[in-house]
Amino acid sequence: MATDTVRGARKVGRYALLVVVAAVVLFPIYAVVLQALKSGPDAFDHPRSLLPVDLTFDTIRSAWTDGNLGHLLLNSLFVSGMVTIGVIITSLLAAYAFAFLEFPGRQALFAIFLATMLVPVEVTVVINQRTANWLGWDNSYQGLIVPSLATTFGVFLVRQVFLQLPKELREAAALDGVGHMRFLYEVAAPLSRPTLGALGLFTFLGTWNAYLWPSQIITDNDHQTIQLGLNKLKTPNDISKFNLLTGGLVVAALPIFIMLVVFQRQLVRGLTAGAVKG
Amino acid sequence: MKRKLRDLPPALLMLVPSLALLGVWTIYPLARAIDYGHKRCDSTFRNCTDAGWDRYSQVFQSKQFQDALMVSLKLAVMTVPIGLVLGIGLAVLADKHLKGIGIFRTIFSSTVATGVAVASLVWFVLLQPQIGVLADLLSDWFPKLKNPGLLNDPDTALPAVALSSIWASLGFTFIIMMAGLQSVPRDLYESAYVDGAGSFRRFTNVTLPMLTPSILFVTVVLTTRALQSYGEIALLTQGGPQSTKATTTIPYLIYGNNSVIHNDIGTKSAAAVLLFLLCLVFAALQFRGFGKRVHYGN
């Protein structure tokens, strides 16, 4: 009886703690979302701004028009989608060669691949900016897409899964005269679908959220991604329009939050792939 | 041997896309940056003269680089330990079988999807000195929130950037720690319990040792992220406030629009290569430092 009470009290205590911590973690998002859902003056009437009253879509609507957010969203969607498809294809092909084919220099080549994983974007952008400029890819979709189409992380991740597929599968298929490409397309790729899902999601998020590279090669309005375009809504000198930024933030973050909720499991798999197994 | 050569043509065909892309956009720029790093070029990049390899040590010892290095290191010191502790705390808190725990886990992971631009601008809104909600509600305790505003004061600008970074990384840290916790075999806790270990002892003697791989991974990632901070600086402070260099990190020194070395490809390349080496050295040190303490289970 007494232990039950103690246990019950502990449970309540833990829930209380969880709620408080969750409130703190969520506060920045909550405050910005509510400000976005209020008209200018209401949004800055603190702390009343934090109450879900006087809600309106006007701010988001003006941010949408003023910031040309529809166009920016389409740009981000197109670029992220193309990069995601490209990374899955290049990763599948290279991973297949490393996992199923035997050729001289395979180990050495894989070592080189792994080594490039260490090179951060922050180092290569200095020169890549010049390469893009030389190719005439400043302010272009190919400039945003092509440099990101192959990642060592993807090759590594897919290779790990391929190595776990039984060798007999490939041998049996070879006896039946099934070529490499058909085996990859019909057997190996479908069997690694969960990992491909994680890789795709991870790549999409990474491209959607990229900042440094786009900021260095895009200067016009036509090819801006949503991440760059938000900066235009930042009007430090015009307080009356400040609220538009909150509207823009909601529009930029919403698709990603929906993805997070829908694909939580794949995301966790992608993030932990490198961590737990060591 | 025959088999090996038979597989070579298809292997090459399948590797060509990745090899070509990585070659052009990762290996070539690294090699080229290393090469440019010891050159002095005029602003057209056409006329370069070899300045010798000690150009690297000159750049490293230059005041701009040293200042930026200090800022980057400070940012790492501010973000990594706090980020780790908060991530572990959240994970331990959410690692219980309670009704509705899934909602809390989703909330704790929520910041993982926010990119650097969204996360930074969220804090830009909250910290806005005249009309930001934090400035309004908390300025009695922290007058600087209002005047001049955390991002406008050289002493508080970097901690404010750190705050935004810690929050932005929290979801990632939480997810890794949560996965780490869930891979701890339950019977370890049970035997510790049977041996009379209290919850604190169970945490220090079972949970923490079993979490070491996750802790190492998160430490390396968070440190690298701190050293490579660019977006948050560009959006929150432009390396300032104003003419100070209080938040000019190494990447901002290299890529910032108003950077003093903006048109100097030689110095930029040298700084980028030095940044790369710095990240490698830190990662290597962290792997060695953790060394045998990392417990990978069986």
Q: Which residues pair with B270 in a beta bridge?
A: none
Say which of B15, B175, B231 has its CB closest to residue A97.
B15
pLDDT value at residue A93: 92
User: Which amino acid is residue A168, in one-letter code?
Assistant: E
Q: The domain containing residue A117 runs over which residues? A: 69-272
DSSP-H helix ranges across chain A: 2-36, 40-43, 58-66, 69-100, 106-116, 121-134, 141-145, 152-164, 167-175, 180-183, 189-191, 193-209, 212-217, 226-229, 243-262, 264-272
Any domain includes A61: no
CB contact under 8 A, B90 and A25: yes
The more confident residue out of A166 and B87 is B87
Measured distance CA(B158)–CA(B249) in Å, rounded: 10
pLDDT value at residue A277: 41
- Using a CB-CB cut-off of 8 Å, the residues of chain B touching A125 are 29, 255, 272
pLDDT value at residue A274: 53
Regarding whether A138 and A109 lie in a shared domain, the answer is: yes
Measured distance CA(A30)–CA(A259) in Å, rounded: 18
pLDDT along chain A (278 residues), means of 10: 71 84 87 81 72 76 80 91 94 90 85 83 87 89 91 85 82 82 84 82 86 88 86 72 81 83 73 51
Whether B298 shows a pLDDT value over 60: the answer reads no
CB pairs under 8 A between A and B: 270
Say yes or no: B275 contacts chain A, CB-CB below 8 A.
Answer: yes
**B16-45 residue pLDDT tens:** 999 899 999 998 999 888 888 777 776 666
Measured distance CA(A228)–CA(A232) in Å, rounded: 8
pLDDT value at residue A84: 93
User: Which amino acid is residue A229, in one-letter code?
Assistant: G
Strands B48-50 and B39-41: antiparallel
pLDDT value at residue B181: 81
pLDDT value at residue A82: 94
Contact (Cβ atoms closer than 8 angstroms) between residue B263 and residue B43: yes
CA dihedral for B30, A152, A86, B169, sign (positive or negative): negative
The single residue listed with the structure tokens 């417990």 is B295
Say yes or no: B114 contacts chain A, CB-CB below 8 A.
Answer: yes
The architecture of the domain spanning B57-293 is Orthogonal Bundle (1.10)
CB contact under 8 A, A260 and B254: no
Regarding whether A131 and A35 lie in a shared domain, the answer is: no
Say yes or no: B85 contacts chain A, CB-CB below 8 A.
Answer: no
Task: Report the gap between the CA of B6 and the closest CA in chain A (Å).
Answer: 8
CA nearest to A257 within chain B: B113
pLDDT value at residue A80: 93
Regarding whether A36 and A78 lie in a shared domain, the answer is: no
CB contact under 8 A, B167 and A150: no
pLDDT value at residue A89: 93
- Using a CB-CB cut-off of 8 Å, the residues of chain A touching B251 are 122, 212
CB contact under 8 A, B255 and A212: yes
pLDDT value at residue B295: 64
Both structure tokens of A83: 């990069």
The more confident residue out of B136 and A258 is A258
Share of chain B above pLDDT 70, in %: 92
pLDDT value at residue B242: 73
Regarding whether A48 and A102 lie in a shared domain, the answer is: no
Best interface-test mutation with B: which of A24, A72, A89, A103 has the largest number of B CBs within 10 A? Answer: A103
The number of distinct structural domains making up chain A is 2
**pLDDT average, residue stretch B237-257:** 83
Regarding whether A186 and A234 lie in a shared domain, the answer is: yes
**pLDDT average, residue stretch B96-118:** 81
Helix (H, G, I), strand (E, B) or coil at B40: strand
ipTM of predicted assembly, 2 dp:
0.79
pLDDT value at residue B195: 79
CB contact under 8 A, A118 and B280: yes
Say which of B24, B178, B275 has its CB closest to residue A123.
B275
Contact (Cβ atoms closer than 8 angstroms) between residue B176 and residue B218: yes
pLDDT value at residue A78: 94
Helix (H, G, I), strand (E, B) or coil at B49: strand
Tell me the domain boundaries of chain B. Answer: 57-293
